[in-house]
Amino acid sequence: MHRLSVLLTLAIFGLSAAAQQAAMPQTARQALIEMFFSKTPGTLMKHLPDATLAALAKSDALTSLQQYSAMTTFTQTQGHTFQTFETGSILLSGDDPKTGEKYEMTVENDTLRADQDDIEVSFQTYKNGQPQRTPYMPDITFSMKEEAHIWRLNEISVTVHLPLADPDLLKALTQQMKPQLAAQGTLTPHFENTPPPAGSDAQVLAAMRTIIAAETTYAGTYRNVGYTCSLSSLDGFGGGEPNERQAMLINSGLASGKRFGYVFIATQCSGAPAITFQLTAAPNGNTFGRRAFCSDQTGTIRFSQDGNPATCLANGAPLP
């Protein structure tokens, strides 16, 4: 009898633990893995925003997306082996039997803020156990946003690094240029009407002015809150009426706080309502030799040459 009661107790505790585990909400990382690597039909569309699905359905493009989802699931079974990880520094590892190469997708940064999670990943390939040098391999940031208690893929940002002094990159570039030079006899560069490069100071300053204007509008609209230090509160993602948690004032890419190789952060929103704020834009870890910018509720933008936002806030010089 005593043994039976012990077994019943263990069974009850086991069922209780299983129920608690089943009730745990899905993380953004789990949703991302399910979206692209699950063999269950419909998972790709499950994690797209409702607005995206509605637009696709209206344009009769939803069927094509469903076919693409099915094709993706099919290609996953064609000889490639891979494993995904819901925690830790490795998101995915796998190998290609045809080439003998192995590859890894590494999580460089996972930033969770309220209902948004930015997952930045990088890639590395190996052959015969040795890492392969690929100087222009991109970094990708998946911006996940919670909608109706489901993590949806809100934005994909791709950053490609081109180290112009890298020997492998220089070799590849010169090898491609030689046949063209031989055929043309010369190489004439054209600089007229060339657009500014991505991540230029002009783009960063334009982004800062957009955030400052949004802060002013936000403080005037939600007077009981004042200025906000949560860029996600200024976000323009979603539908329905604007509110203090999603004011529809800036796009989601800028609301993520990462744009043009810079990190945008709002601070010093103290008080109720908050009558002050500080905004900084600093080069991210992969962008060196760039200036830092800062501003506040006055709208005056300053800069520091050392790229340090603290220096900018302390004694930054006004823009000329």
CA–CA distance, 258 with 265 (Å, rounded to integer)? 9
Strands 258-259 and 139-147: what pairing?
unpaired
CA–CA distance, 65 with 56 (Å, rounded to integer)? 8
CA–CA distance, 313 with 280 (Å, rounded to integer)? 8
CA–CA distance, 245 with 234 (Å, rounded to integer)? 7
The pLDDT score that the predictor gives to residue 63 is 64
Rounded percentage of the chain residues whose pLDDT exceeds 70: 69
> Lowest mean pLDDT: which of 135-144, 216-225, 244-253?
135-144
Average pLDDT rounded to a whole number, residues 70-81: 51
The pLDDT score that the predictor gives to residue 304 is 95
User: Which residues does 91 contact at the CB level (< 8 Å), separation at least 6?
Assistant: 29, 33, 84, 85, 105, 106, 107, 119, 121
For the chain, how are helix, strand and coil distributed in percent, rounded to 5? 35, 30, 35
Average pLDDT rounded to a whole number, residues 117-131: 80
pLDDT in tens, 195-219: 444 468 899 999 999 999 999 999 9
The pLDDT score that the predictor gives to residue 189 is 43
Query: What pTM, to 2 d.p., does this model score?
Result: 0.47
Residue with tokens 């933008």: 301
CA–CA distance, 13 with 16 (Å, rounded to integer)? 5
In DSSP notation, 105-128 reads: EEEEEEEEETTEEEEEEEEEEEET
CA–CA distance, 298 with 318 (Å, rounded to integer)? 12
pLDDT in tens, 5-21: 544 454 454 544 444 44
CA–CA distance, 258 with 283 (Å, rounded to integer)? 10
Under CATH, what is the fold of the domain 24-159?
A: Nuclear Transport Factor 2; Chain: A, (3.10.450)
Average pLDDT rounded to a whole number, residues 41-51: 81
Partner residues linked to 102 by β-bridges: 95, 126
The pLDDT score that the predictor gives to residue 66 is 58
Domain ranges of the chain: 24-159, 201-318
Give the mean pLDDT of the chain.
77
The answer, yes or no, to whether residue 184 has pLDDT greater than 50, is: no
User: CB-hemisphere CA count at 13 Å for 5?
Assistant: 2
Confidence category of residue 182, pLDDT binned at 50, 70, 90: very low
Return the number of other C-beta atoms located less than 10 Å from residue 291's C-beta.
20
